[in-house]
Amino acid sequence: MGTYPRYITPGLETFDPIQLARETEEIVCKGDARKYTDFYATGVYGGIATGYTCGCCLRCVFCWVDWSRDFPERYGQFYSPEEVFGNLGDAARQYRVRKLRISGAEPTLGKEHLLKVLELVEASEFDQFILETNGMLFGVDRGYVREISRFEKPHIRVSLKAGTAEAFAEKTGAKPETFELPFSAIRNLLDYDVSFNVAAMSADPRIMDQKERESLILKLAEIEPRLALKLEEEVVDPYKTTLARLEYGGLRLKWPLRQIYPPVKLPGEGEFLRRRLGRYAYVH
């Protein structure tokens, strides 16, 4: 574990996130079982039962997840797909919600486990399964997306971390050439007609400047303009783990947040779109 990256620090050598995914799977997966720290219901998505996993293949400096992301060997216990579905179902029934979710770290780690959970969800009374992902494995493995497309109930939330390769490496610790993988994931999801939306840490001027945000929006618009119009933009929240990771990375943000970017508005495609995006400014 001596070379296993925990969080970003100044001078950290960038890593291969796919290799890190495989190393993390060795820690958090055992056969078709997967490590979780908790099961509960929460009010997001209008009420949803959630399984909280350990381990990720990125080291985002603004990440809110607890330390089970960085030290997966120290946290959680293994649950079979049947146990996960049972715990999610119990939480959903207790709080009278009809949606299920896996969150906390990177739920696409452990393909065999996830696909078996989705099979159980598909045959259940629950309406929808939200899968939150950084998109790295869906970008490198088109077949994984094809497997997901067999199911009707999953909705995928792809979370983008940066708008340029250089910024991606700085914010996630991953090699800059892997910046394209989440965008490949988006193309794969479109090709296989999987229900999904795109989110990004792009509303916060403290963590993404205007030029980088424009680059991100344009990349989305070039794939499909509607994705840019419906982009779910996020800001950094001051969780204890977030503040610690920012400090380890040498970043100090001013609190409270006083400015955000305006919502995305796309008047059209091509050069006119580029000129329009160039006029964006901060708003209070």
Is the per-residue pLDDT at 276 higher than 60? no
Total length of the chain = 284
Enclosing H/E stretch for 252: none
Is the per-residue pLDDT at 178 higher than 80? yes
Per residue in 197-254, pLDDT (tens digit) is 999 999 999 999 999 999 999 999 999 988 998 999 999 999 999 999 999 999 999 9
- At residue 275, the pLDDT reads 52
pLDDT bucket at 269, cuts 50 / 70 / 90: very low
pLDDT bucket at 267, cuts 50 / 70 / 90: low
In angstroms, the CA 101 to CA 107 distance is 9
The full set of domains in the chain, from first to last, is 17-201+236-253 (3.20.20.70)
pLDDT bucket at 2, cuts 50 / 70 / 90: low
Q: Token digits for 237?
A: 């929240």
163 pairs with which residues across the strands? Answer: none
- At residue 266, the pLDDT reads 61
**Burial track 13-43 (b if 16+ CB lie within 10 A, e otherwise):** ebbebbebbebbbebbbeebbbbbbebebee
Can you tell me the mean pLDDT for 8-17?
95
Per residue in 51-110, pLDDT (tens digit) is 999 999 999 999 999 999 999 999 999 999 999 999 999 999 999 999 999 998 999 999
In angstroms, the CA 146 to CA 185 distance is 11
15 pairs with which residues across the strands? Answer: 174
pLDDT bucket at 263, cuts 50 / 70 / 90: confident
Phi/psi for 23 (5° steps) reads -65, -40
Tell me: cis bond preceding 256? Omega within 30 of 0 counts: yes
> Helices 210-223 and 181-191, interaxial angle, to 10°?
30
Question: Ramachandran region of residue 26, left (φ > 0), alpha (ψ -120 to 50) or beta?
Answer: alpha
